[in-house]
């Protein structure tokens, strides 16, 4: 053996400078494949080492995780996949010891599977292969060709140089693995948290599994435990009041009352006395003292529905009450302390109302702390059918009726209607259908004319309406799961409680580009 100083003097290139370049590259970040290609580039340009190959094992199985080759064609690379234990590379994998072969043509175990050397004179080439080791584990190999002009001392020196390179590579591989393990653990945790949130947030009385509704459930779970003011937005009939009740029930205020006030239902003068109460004789007709809703909601939740309909003067009073946590009864002078959780709802475009001076900007910021947006029913995919089914059960049992199914034409009508009145409209439609149905089936003619007008249009397309809808729902579920799983099909299959094979089949059939979903969670 020679000591390394002595050996490095025998190198035909500057070993230290090359190692330095490589270490710089290794700390530069980027994909591991790119980095390894860079290493092979440097070895080629600065150390005269050609046709380099780096193979790194996947820690989870015995497949190659990284398999980079220089100067070898793609098909050569395919052929070059050495089974571990086969050939020289395999031997290095198995023994963890470097191998140098001064002249390839003298070596019977050299397989040249890649075919890269078939045009070269065999006698010109030396082959060097060193293990990439993490602690005592062989995690990969690094191999190169050299033009075989060296004496044994030079060859030994180059082998040592390559081992130093392999040592640097090993450090990067180990660091990347640790990082990957951490990311995987975090992802798993994140996934569980999201699932937990969804389950925690799902109100018992709310039906729907669409991605947009699951987002709503997560938001409910997030905001309910705090005392934060919530603004619930969404078209009419989308379930804003249900969400407000759910937040109350899942909040620390749940032992207190839930007090709803519809701000649109009362004229300005009455609304103020409704909210804040009044003293006896404070206005004509105020025959007795009255406790307002703010006071009765003490230690509970005050739900201000249609908050966008309040007059500017009532808005001012409301703002003071929120800021000071105190109210004064109309006609009264004492301040009464109140402790309430405030939830507001609106289907108005409050931003426009603010811009046009109909809604106070300062109040807008006070109530718009955490927003839950309820999607319109037409954007909830097959939730329409889940809800239809739910309402049939509800009204059938209320009316002692036996309804077994919805006919296909009726399903198509329900699916293709645009539901301007959202869930409330659907609920009314189903209640009526249950009442008027004479068989134990909901038929097309049990649905109101607004839906039936479409019956003629549906002829011929009826088959794909339902199927297209189910497909679109399926697609949404799978895309959601893939997003959660960052494009990982196995994980997505776990989330959906199915097998990878089925997921793969559906991805293909529904033409989902799962690669695009990587990292989009
Ligand atoms: N996801 C759902 N699952 C079951 N029932 C629902 C769902 N969403 C809404 N509903 C029902 O639909 C009806 C309308 O809901 P809600 O009153 O909460 O809507 P809203 O958004 O407050 O409507 P508006 O803006 O008109 O006040 C209620 O009977 C409610 O129980
Ligand atoms: Mg409402």
Residues 346, 233 contacting (CB under 8 angstroms): yes
- For ligand 1, say whether the CB of 239 is within 6 Å of any of its atoms: yes
Reduced to 3 states, what is the DSSP secondary structure of residue 52?
strand
30 backbone φψ class: left, alpha, beta (φ>0; ψ -120 to 50): left
For residue 455, the surrounding DSSP H or E stretch is: helix 455-458
Indicate which atom in ligand 1 lies nearest the CA of residue 235.
25
99-101 vs 326-327, strand pairing mode: unpaired
- For ligand 1, say whether the CB of 262 is within 6 Å of any of its atoms: no
- Ligand nearest the Cα of residue 395 is 1
Indicate which atom in ligand 1 lies nearest the CA of residue 241.
18
Question: What residues does 53 pair with on adjacent strands?
Answer: 69, 143
Measured on CA atoms in the order 263, 266, 271, 277, is the torsion positive or negative? negative
What does the alpha-carbon distance between residue 92 and residue 110 come to, in Å, rounded to a whole number? 12
What does the alpha-carbon distance between residue 21 and residue 45 come to, in Å, rounded to a whole number? 11
Structure tokens at 310: 């309040």
- Ligand nearest the Cα of residue 210 is 1
- For ligand 1, say whether the CB of 424 is within 6 Å of any of its atoms: yes
Closest CA to 501 of 489, 485, 510, 488: 489
- For ligand 1, say whether the CB of 487 is within 6 Å of any of its atoms: no
- For ligand 1, say whether the CB of 206 is within 6 Å of any of its atoms: yes
Determine the pLDDT at residue 280: 81
- For ligand 1, say whether the CB of 376 is within 6 Å of any of its atoms: no
Residues 211, 375 contacting (CB under 8 angstroms): no
List per-residue pLDDT tens for the chain, 521 residues long: 444 454 455 677 888 899 999 999 988 877 888 889 999 999 999 888 888 888 888 777 666 666 777 766 565 555 555 444 457 788 888 889 998 887 666 666 666 666 666 655 555 678 889 999 988 889 899 998 887 655 777 788 888 999 999 999 999 888 888 888 888 888 888 888 888 888 888 888 899 988 899 999 999 999 999 999 999 999 999 999 999 999 999 999 999 999 999 999 888 888 988 999 988 877 777 777 888 999 999 999 999 999 999 999 999 999 999 999 999 888 888 889 999 999 999 999 999 999 999 999 999 999 999 999 999 999 998 899 999 999 999 999 999 999 988 998 898 899 889 999 999 999 999 999 999 998 889 999 999 988 875 445 555 444 556 677 777 778 888 888 888 888 888 888 888 888 888 888 888 888 887 777 765 54
Residues 368, 357 contacting (CB under 8 angstroms): no
Instruction: Tell me the C-alpha to C-alpha distance, in Å, between residue 108 and each of 88, 221, 461.
Output: 10, 68, 70
* Nearby residues of 92 by Cβ (< 8 Å), 6 or more positions away: 98, 99, 129, 130, 131, 138, 141, 143
Centroid of ligand 2 to alpha carbon of 261 (angstroms):
10
Question: What residues does 56 pair with on adjacent strands?
Answer: 66, 140
Instruction: Supply the Cα-derived Rg of the chain in whole angstroms.
Output: 36
Distance of CA 123 to the CA centre of its chain: 57
Question: What residues does 146 pair with on adjacent strands?
Answer: 126
What does the alpha-carbon distance between residue 300 and residue 366 come to, in Å, rounded to a whole number? 19
- For ligand 1, say whether the CB of 234 is within 6 Å of any of its atoms: yes
Centroid of ligand 1 to alpha carbon of 205 (angstroms):
10
Centroid of ligand 1 to alpha carbon of 240 (angstroms):
6
Instruction: Tell me the C-alpha to C-alpha distance, in Å, between residue 54 and each of 35, 139, 292, 311.
Output: 11, 11, 77, 73
Closest CA to 86 of 65, 60, 61, 55: 55
- Ligand nearest the Cα of residue 202 is 1
- For ligand 1, say whether the CB of 99 is within 6 Å of any of its atoms: no
Determine the pLDDT at residue 429: 96
Centroid of ligand 1 to alpha carbon of 331 (angstroms):
37
Instruction: Tell me the C-alpha to C-alpha distance, in Å, between residue 490 and each of 211, 498, 501, 510, 511.
Output: 20, 9, 9, 17, 18
Determine the pLDDT at residue 278: 87
- Closest residue CA from atom 13 of ligand 1: 424
């Amino acid at each position: 053996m020679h000591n390394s100083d002595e050996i490095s003097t025998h190198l035909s290139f500057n070993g230290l400078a090359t190692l330095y370049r490589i270490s710089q590259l290794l700390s530069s970040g980027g994909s591991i494949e790119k980095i390894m290609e860079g290493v092979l580039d440097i070895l080629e340009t600065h150390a005269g080492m050609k046709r380099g190959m780096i193979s790194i094992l996947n820690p989870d199985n015995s497949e190659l995780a990284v398999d980079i080759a220089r100067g070898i064609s793609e098909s050569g690379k395919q052929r070059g996949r050495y089974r571990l234990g086969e050939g020289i590379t395999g031997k290095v994998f198995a023994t963890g010891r470097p191998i140098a072969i001064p002249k390839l043509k003298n070596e019977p175990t050299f397989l040249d599977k890649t075919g890269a050397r078939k045009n070269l004179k065999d006698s010109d080439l030396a082959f060097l292969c060193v293990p990439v080791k993490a602690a005592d584990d062989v995690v990969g190999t690094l191999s190169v060709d050299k033009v075989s002009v060296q004496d044994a001392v030079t060859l030994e020196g180059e082998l040592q140089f390559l081992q130093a390179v392999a040592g640097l590579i090993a450090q990067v591989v180990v660091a990347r693995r640790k990082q990957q393990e951490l990311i995987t653990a975090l992802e798993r945790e994140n996934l569980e948290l999201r699932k937990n949130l969804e389950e925690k947030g799902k109100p018992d009385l709310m039906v729907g599994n669409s991605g947009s509704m699951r987002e709503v459930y997560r938001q409910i779970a997030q905001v309910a435990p705090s005392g934060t003011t919530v603004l619930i937005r969404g078209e009419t009939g989308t379930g804003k009041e249900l969400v407000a009740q759910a937040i109350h029930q899942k909040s620390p205020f749940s032992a207190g009352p839930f007090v709803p006030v519809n701000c649109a239902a009362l004229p300005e003068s009455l609304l103020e006395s409704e909210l804040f109460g009044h003293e006896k004789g404070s206005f004509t007709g105020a025959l007795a003292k009255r406790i307002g809703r703010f006071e009765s909601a003490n230690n509970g939740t005050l739900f201000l529905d249609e908050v966008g309909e309040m007059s500017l003067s009532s808005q001012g009073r409301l703002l003071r009450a929120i800021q000071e946590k105190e109210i004064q009864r109309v006609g009264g002078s004492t301040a009464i302390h109140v402790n309430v959780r405030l939830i507001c709802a609106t289907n108005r475009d409050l931003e426009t109302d603010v811009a046009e001076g109909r809604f106070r900007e300062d109040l807008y910021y006070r109530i718009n702390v955490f927003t839950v947006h309820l999607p319109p029913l037409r954007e909830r995919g097959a939730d329409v059918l889940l809800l239809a089914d739910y309402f049939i059960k509800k009204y059938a049992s209320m009316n002692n009726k036996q309804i077994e199914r919805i006919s296909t034409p009726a399903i198509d009508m329900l699916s293709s209607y645009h539901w301007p009145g959202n869930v409330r409209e659907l609920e009314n439609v189903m209640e009526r259908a249950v009442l008027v149905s004479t068989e134990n089936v909901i038929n097309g003619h049990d649905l109101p004319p607004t839906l039936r007008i479409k019956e003629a249009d549906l002829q011929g397309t009826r088959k794909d309406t339902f199927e297209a809808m189910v497909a679109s729902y399926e697609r949404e579920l799978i895309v959601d799961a893939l997003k959660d799983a960052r494009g990982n099909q196995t994980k997505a299959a776990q989330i959906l409680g199915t097998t990878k094979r089925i997921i793969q089949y559906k991805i293909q059939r529904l033409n989902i580009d799962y690669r695009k979903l990587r990292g989009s969670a």
